[in-house]
Every structure is written in structure tokens, then in C-alpha cells.
Structure 1
């Protein structure tokens, strides 16, 4: 019997890991389909999967294949997704439509959170989350806000990332995260990173220096909130790009995007592509390096969360 389209299918490796109570790390698939050009996207996928497995966890790439939602694509399924023509970029709102009409879609962070949370996963790794986009008309507020932020209020998972993408309005993104009560936790840092840039000029809501601290924080957070949590770490120093240099490229890329009429889901891939060209490939390298670092940390964290945690005493206030 064919699987019901609305049911999330779990890959064999992920199913086995869950049954054995072994750590699993969820992944979006859009970064490996629309986020990077070929062959960098194929190489980045191999690097991320290898980093997670080397740390003792099982990777779980999310996607919709022919209308069937999946958590845990096998290698051949990922290759088919990367080589397919006309793959939709699906955010949280797009999942139902993709499933209902039998589409193949790569998931953004918000859609990946929805699918991974449905099968009980706790940790997702990505490069940088979406947020509030920069204003085209500075006289009016931007209503172009990524679904990633609102999905974090709905799906209780830890998202390991290098902050928010630096093409965003970062102060507004930071303020909205605060308004939505999403903890922004710095991994061995007091500063909020911005994708390729190590310091966005903004603080984090708290800092942690050990995996045990993250696990304790997550346990306490889950008792008082139903939302997710951001664990942010800067792009590794050897690949990070100085903020002034990156801002010059970004201003040019944004100007070209506006002039060519790029809107909606097409705008971010256009800007990222131009950043890669203007930087001579440095942004692509930084993207791959930070993806690996975040995947490795997410795998280590997933293993820590799976470890037994001492029960609270009757006198404990938590």
C-alpha cells in the first residue's frame, strides 16, 4: 500500500537511530539544492553528512518527494533531489500545497522544523536563519519577514546556526527574536554572528561554554516555554569575512536585486549568488566551512541531550 501523503516518512537510517535512542540531527535541504551552486552544493552536502556521522549522530535531511514528506533522505534520494528540474523551495506555509499536488520540494529552515518536530527530533543544523529583510523604501517598515522566526515559536527544537544571514536587517531581526521570546544563546561567544561575519554588533541573550550547559538550559526552557531556541556560533575564524568588506559587496548585490525586480523567494538566492561572484568565491567557502562547524556542534549536542539527566529533587523549583 502506498504511504499516505500527509504522513511524514522516516528514512531507514533515521528510523533505526530513533529506535536505538541514538542522536539524530535534522537538516534543511534547500541549502543543498538552491542555496549553493553545483558542484559546491554536492560537496557541501557530503561534508555536512560526514561531519555529523563522524560525531556519532545520524543526519536527517528533510524534503518533499513527489508529494511525500520525508525526514531522513537516503543518499540516492538526495542526489535525485539535487539533479531534479523545477524543485520548489518550500517554507512552512508551502508544505501542505507541495504535499497536496504531489510536488517535489526542498525545505527551508521553517519547513524542516515542521517535519523534524513531527517525528520527535530535538536538534537542527543550518548555516544561518532567515529574518527581517532590509527595507527597500527606508520610509516604511519591512513586512518581508522569514517564516523561520515564527516557526521557532511553534516547533520546540534547538537550531544550531551562525546567527542570521547578513543580508537581513539584523537589528530588526534581533528585536523580533526578543519579542517572540526566542532565546539566542551564544556558543562560547557573547556576540550575535551574522553568517559570514563573526560579529553583527549585537549581543546574545546568554552565553554557554559547554554542552552540559546547553542541555541544562534546554531542559529548563522546555519547562517554561513551547518555543525553539537558537544556539549560535560564529563562522570559523579562518573563513570569516570582515564586516566592512562584506557590506560593500552586499550593498551592490542588493542594488542589483532591486533593479532587476527580484522579489520573494527568488531574492535571497540572487543576492547570495552575486555575493559569491563579487567576493571571488570567498562567501561560498565561508558558507561551507560554517555549515560543517554547525553540523558538528549539532551532532555533539544531540548526543549530549540523549545522555541521561539526573532527576530533579522534590525541592527543586524547576
Structure 2
């Protein structure tokens, strides 16, 4: 896609100086959390990237304009917007939002597309989308984008509300390298270990940076995943989460929730059923992923 990009001043400065840049998504601001948790988390992620020595670039569409490095004012406007007033933007949504001058927060797939257009190849998020439980025909566009857009995504695995074995199968089919960061099994978002082995793992930032450097030299057309477990002090247990997720998914089915509405509905129900502890885990992993992405990006430039 050929975008007319608007760059934030801090991102332009980083590009001119050669400072590594880490892309950040904005659906967490408009759909993932309520105010003020959404803006507090978004700003904390940006600060975590800065503390690692990299430049944060929160990506979104503001009144039809793709923005690489939204300002705090723009992020706050997104955070305070009524739920549903700003669309989630994936690959299919760019023409309509840009053509009609509407605002959009970017999904993982949407962020990857704009990041690649801006020559940013490291991106930190919470968890990627995947194959929905009980609905194997419902495959997130995130997985397909990872198969064709060269951006490295640092995440806490796929959201544990999904069918993780099938998600890993699709990633394999798409040729996406999945690298465990400090883990040999796929993290499951709220929990640290899904018991599903990942094909490769690294112990530290140096090893991760070596893989990122090799991936860049290969000049492939596919993305790559570094999967980072949620910090231990914020993690929930597998047994508890399985029960909670099962209840939340059944509620979504009973209420007739489908498509893009499923994930925010189920995540909201999970927060309710865990008395907010899943929200704390979500915030912790988002900030940790931003920090890790910044550290990997910086080390890969040294």
C-alpha cells in the first residue's frame, strides 16, 4: 500500500539521527481498556521504549490521515472517545477510513502495514490475534499479515482466549518464525506457559538482536514473532484462566457476538470475571513488551 504518511516530530528526529524506532498500536487505547487505564498504559509503553534507548511511534489514522508517531494530545483524544466512535483498522479498512476522512485505531495487522510503509520493522503489542476457539474458520488477519509483511512483533504470544494450537499451525503455514524470549513454550497472554513448544528460543537481548539482524539481512517478505511471558508477579494461573475464558466465550456465543466484536467482548468479560486481575496482567505485559522491543531494537543497531 502507498500511504501519504504524516510523521510526528520525534519520529522524524529519530529517523534523521539513526535512533531505532519501535511501533506501537492504538486499539488498546480505543478498544482494549477503559479510560484512564488506556491512556496511562499507552504513555507508559512509550516511556518504556524511551527508557530502553529507542523512539516510540504510536500509529493511528487521525481524520483520514495516517500518522506515524501520534502526539499525546491525539492519544488522549482517542482515549476519551466514546466506545465505538473510532473504528478498528486492519488491512481491509484503510481505503474507507482514509477516503472518508475518519479516524481509526490500528490492529496488529494494521500497525504492521503502516510500520512497514514507514520503514519501521520492530513493533511491540500485547498479544496477536489468532484462530478463535470453536470457530476454526475465524482466523485473525494478524496471522495472514505476519506471513507477508516484514515487521518483527514483540508480544506475549496470542491472546489466551484463542485456540493456541491452531494458531501455531497457521503461523507455521505462513512461514512465520516464532521465537520464545526467555521461554521454550508459547506464552498465553495472561499466563506464562501454554505448554505448546515454540520452534526456537533465546535467553537474552543479545541473542534476540542476533536473530533480528539475521532476519533483516535475509530480506524476506514475512514477519517474525518474539514471544515474551507476562511478568511473573502479574501472571494468572492456567487453571483459573481456562475456566474464566470458557465462561466468557459461552457468554459471547449466547449474546450473538461475532467477528471483530468477539475479542473486545471476551476480554471485557474476562476482566469482570477476574475482578480486574486480568487487566493488571494486561497492563504489565504491554509495558514489558514495549521495554523488551526497545532493548532488542537498540542492541540490533550496535
Return the match for 2:154 from 151, 156, 160: 160
Which residue pairs with 1:33 in the alignment? 30
User: Which entry has the higher C-alpha Rg, 1 or 2?
Assistant: 1
1:304 and 2:292 matched: no
Which residue pairs with 2:199 in the alignment? 205
Which residue pairs with 2:16 in the alignment? 19
Return the match for 1:173 from 167, 171, 186: 167
- Cα deviation digits, residues 239-287 of structure 1 (max 9, x gap): 1111110111111111111111111111111100010000000000000
Kept in 1, the 8 Å contact 2:31–2:264? The answer is yes
Distance 2:45 2:114 in 1: 19
Distance 2:143 2:12 in 1: 28
Query: How far off is 1:154 after superposition?
Result: 1.8
Name the count of aligned residue pairs: 298
SS at match of 2:70: coil
SS at match of 2:233: coil
TM-score, normalised to structure 1's length? 0.91
Deviates more, 1:266-275 or 1:34-43: 34-43
Which residue pairs with 2:40 in the alignment? 43
Do the aligned partners of residues 51 and 219 (structure 1) sit closer, same or farther apart at CA in structure 2, a change above 3 Å counting?
closer
Return the match for 1:263 from 246, 252, 258: 258
1:144 and 2:141 matched: no
Aligned pairs (5 A) from 1:46-85: 46-85=43-82
Question: Alpha carbon RMSD of aligned pairs, Å?
Answer: 1.3
Query: How far off is 1:224 after superposition?
Result: 6.4
Aligned pairs (5 A) from 1:125-144: 125-136=124-135, 142-144=136-138
Distance 2:206 2:43 in 1: 28
Query: How far off is 1:27 after superposition?
Result: 0.6
1:183 and 2:177 matched: yes
- Cα deviation digits, residues 3-56 of structure 1 (max 9, x gap): xx9401111101110110001110110011110112211221122122111111
1:237 and 2:229 matched: no
1:113 and 2:112 matched: yes
TM-score, normalised to structure 2's length? 0.95
Kept in 2, the 8 Å contact 1:122–1:302? The answer is no
Structure 2: any 5+ residue segments left out of the alignment? none
